[in-house]
Amino acid sequence: MAVNESTGIAATAVARVGKYRWSIIALLFFATTVNYIDRTMLGLLKPQLSGELGWTENDYGNIVTAFQAAYALGFLLMGWLVDRFGPKIGYAIAISIWTVGHVAHGFASSVVAFMAARVVLGVGEAGHFPSVVRASSEWFPQKERAYAIGWVNSATTIGVILTAPTLWIFMTWMGFGWRETFIYTGIFGVVLLALWLWWYKNPRDANCAVSDGELAWIEHDPPEAIEKIGWGRVVRKREAWAFASAKFLTDPVWFLMLFWLPSYFTTTYDVDLKVVLLPMIVMYLLSDVGSIAGGWMSSKLIERGRTPNFARKVTMLLAGCCVLPLLFVTGLDNMWVAVVLIGIALAGHQAFSSNLLSLPPDMFPKRAVGSVIGLGGFAGGVGGMIMAKSTGLVLDATKGNYTMIFAACTVTYFIAVAVIHLLSPKLTRIEVA
Total domain count for the chain? Answer: 1
pLDDT band at 91 (very low <50, low <70, confident <90, very high): very high
> What is the DSSP code (8-state) at residue 105?
G
pLDDT higher than 90, residue 146:
no
Closest CA to 192 of 27, 68, 394: 27
Structural domain containing residue 383: 26-202+239-423
Residue 5 lies in a domain: no
Q: How far apart are CA 28 and CA 31, in angstroms?
A: 5
Q: 273-303 and 335-356 helices cross at what angle (nearest 10)?
A: 40
Q: Is residue 432 part of a domain?
A: no
Q: Is residue 230 part of a domain?
A: no
Look up the CATH number of the domain holding residue 78: 1.20.1250.20
pLDDT at 387: 84
Cα 126 to Cα 130: distance, rounded to the nearest angstrom: 8
pLDDT in the model for residue 4: 46
Compute the average pLDDT of residues 108-133: 92
Answer yes or no: is 364 within a domain: yes
Kindly state the average pLDDT of the residues 85-107: 94
Domain for residue 20, yes or no? Answer: no
Residue 430 in any domain: the answer is no
Whether 166 shows a pLDDT value over 50: the answer reads yes
Least confident of 141-155, 171-185, 322-336: 141-155
List for the chain the helix, strand, coil content (%; round to 5). Answer: 80, 0, 20
Q: Is residue 9 part of a domain?
A: no
- Give the angle subtended at the CA of 118 by the CAs of 232 and 60, to the nearest 5°: 120
Cα–Cα distance for residue pair 351/347, rounded to 1 Å = 6
* Residue 8 binned pLDDT confidence (cut-offs 50, 70, 90): very low
Q: 100 lies in a domain? A: yes
Identify which of 135-144, 301-310, 388-397 has the greatest average pLDDT. 301-310
